[in-house]
A and B are shown apart, each in its own frame.
Chain A
Amino acid sequence: MRAVETRGLAHRFGDGEAARTVLHGLDLAVDAGEVVLLTGPSGSGKTTLLTLIGGLRAVQEGSCRVLGTELAGADEARRVALRRRIGFIFQHHNLLGFLTAEQNVAMALEITPVMPEPERLARARAMLAAVGIGEKAGAYPATLSGGQRQRVAIARALVHAPGLILADEPTAALDGRTGHETMTLLQRLAKEQGRTVFIVTHDPRIHDIADRIVAMEDGRIIDGTRA
Chain B
Amino acid sequence: MSGAAPRAAAILPALLAARLAWRQLRHEPARLAAAVSGVVFACLLIFMQLGFLTALFDSAVTVQAALNADLFLLNRTTEALWRSAPFPRARLAQALALPEVERVIPLHVGNAVWRNPIDGQKRTLLLFGVDPSAGLLGFPGLAAAEMAELARGDVILFDERAKPQFGPVPALLAERGAVAAELGDRRVEVAGLFALGPTFGTEGHAVASEPTFWRILPNRGPGQVDVGAIRLRPGADAEAAARALRALLPADVMVLTKAGLIAFEKDYWANTAPIGFVFGLGVAIGMLVGCVIVYQILFSDIARHIGEYATLKAMGYANGYLVRVVMGEALILAVLGYIPGWLLGLGLYRVASARIFIPLTMDLDKSVLVFALIFVMCVVSGLVAIRKLRDADPADMF
Contacts and interface: CB of A to CB of B under 8 A. Distances in A.
A102 interface: no
Interface stretch (B72-80, B123-131, B204-212, B310-318): B310-318
Interface residues of B, number: 25
Contacts of B9: 113-114
Given A47-B398, A110-B16, A96 B315 contact: no
B315 A97 contact: no
Given A80-B316, A107-B315, A111-B315, A99 B23 contact: yes
Contacts of B307: 94
A70 to B, nearest CB: 18
Given A83-B314, A84-B316, A98-B27, A113 B12 contact: yes
Contacts of B369: none
Interface string A140-180: 00000000000000001000000000001100000000000
Interface in B1-38: 1, 5, 9, 12-13, 16, 23-24, 26-28
Contacts of B314: 54, 56, 83, 88, 90
Contact of B316 (A47, A57, A83, A90): A83
Nearest to B397: A90
A91 interface: yes
A96 B308 contact: yes
Interface string B308-332: 1001111111100000000000000
A52 to B, nearest CB: 9
20 contacts: A56-B397, A80-B318, A83-B314, A83-B315, A83-B316, A84-B316, A86-B316, A88-B311, A88-B314, A90-B314, A94-B397, A97-B308, A98-B23, A108-B315, A110-B16, A111-B317, A113-B12, A113-B13, A114-B5, A156-B315
A50 interface: yes
Given A88-B315, A113-B12, A113-B13, 13 more contacts: A54-B314, A56-B314, A80-B318, A82-B316, A84-B315, A85-B316, A86-B316, A88-B397, A94-B397, A98-B28, A107-B312, A111-B317, A114-B9
A91 B26 CA distance: 27
A174 to B, nearest CB: 16
A227 interface: no
A51 interface: yes
Contacts of B13: 113
A135 B232 CA distance: 87
Interface in B347-398: 394-395, 397-398
A88 B394 CA distance: 11
A94 B316 contact: no
Interface centre among B28, B307, B317, B398 (most CB of A within 10 A): B398
A196 interface: no
5 closest A-B pairs by CB: A84-B316, A98-B27, A83-B316, A168-B398, A94-B311
A15 B387 CA distance: 25
A40 B314 CA distance: 24
Contacts of A50: 398
A103 interface: yes
A67 B119 CA distance: 94
Interface in B274-321: 307-308, 311-318
Contacts of B26: 98
A82 B314 CA distance: 10
A97 B317 CA distance: 17
A81 interface: yes
B16 A113 contact: yes
Contact of A51 (B24, B27, B317, B398): B398
A110 B317 CA distance: 9
B398 A90 contact: yes
Contacts of B12: 113
Interface in A40-85: 47, 50-51, 54, 56-57, 77, 80-85
Interface string B227-253: 000000000000000000000000000
A51 B395 contact: yes
Contacts of A96: 308, 311-312
Interface in A9-62: 47, 50-51, 54, 56-57
A82 B5 CA distance: 24
Contacts of A80: 313, 316-318
B24 A98 contact: yes
Contacts of A47: 398
Contacts of B24: 98
Nearest to B317: A111
A88 B311 CA distance: 9
Contact of B23 (A81, A103, A168): A103
A90 B314 CA distance: 10
Contacts of B1: 114
A69 B318 CA distance: 18
Nearest to B316: A84
B395 A57 contact: yes
B308 A56 contact: no
Nearest to A169: B398
A91 B311 CA distance: 12
A168 B314 CA distance: 13
A33 to B, nearest CB: 22
Nearest to A57: B395
Nearest to B5: A114
Nearest to B394: A56
A51 B397 CA distance: 9
